[in-house]
Amino acid sequence: EDQVTQSPEALRLQEGESSSLNCSYTVSGLRGLFWYRQDPGKGPEFLFTLYSAGEEKEKERLKATLTKKESFLHITAPKPEDSATYLCAVQVLYSGNTGKLIFGQGTTLQVKP
């Protein structure tokens, strides 16, 4: 069964304290791994797509990496405005060539000033 697990469930950091969020997955055929940011009461905001092991992408203080079994979202010197829930999703083939996103539970990050 396709499965996505994110850890930790919640993370509290001091401003400037770097850390990493983990997304481990077990799927029959990975078509892409996506990271989203979700603020309370809002829809998920797209951050990154990774397609193959070894791939890395960066955006401001965020860097996403991918291996064959997991992805990491590294947050360097976070600021309070980085506080949000970070969602990981893997895309698999659903039917024919239709893709389907399977989401993890998310990691809720709180950055204190």
Partner 1 sequence: ETGVTQTPRHLVMGMTNKKSLKCEQHLGHNAMYWYKQSAKKPLELMFVYSLEERVENNSVPSRFSPECPNSSHLFLHLHTLQPEDSALYLCASSQDSSSGNTIYFGEGSWLTVV
The region of 10-18, 31-39, 59-67, 75-83 touching partner 1 under the rule CB under 8 A is 31-39
- Helix/strand/coil for 79: coil
- If one asks whether residue 104 binds partner 1 (CB under 8 A), the answer comes out as yes
Query: How far, CA to CA in Å, does 54 sit from each of 41, 51, 61, 109, 112?
Result: 34, 9, 19, 25, 32
- If one asks whether residue 97 binds partner 1 (CB under 8 A), the answer comes out as yes
**Interactions with partner 1, residue window 44-83 (CB under 8 A):** 44-46, 49, 51
- Helix/strand/coil for 80: helix
By CB under 8 A, name the binding residues for partner 1.
4, 31-32, 34, 36, 41-46, 49, 51, 87, 89, 91-106
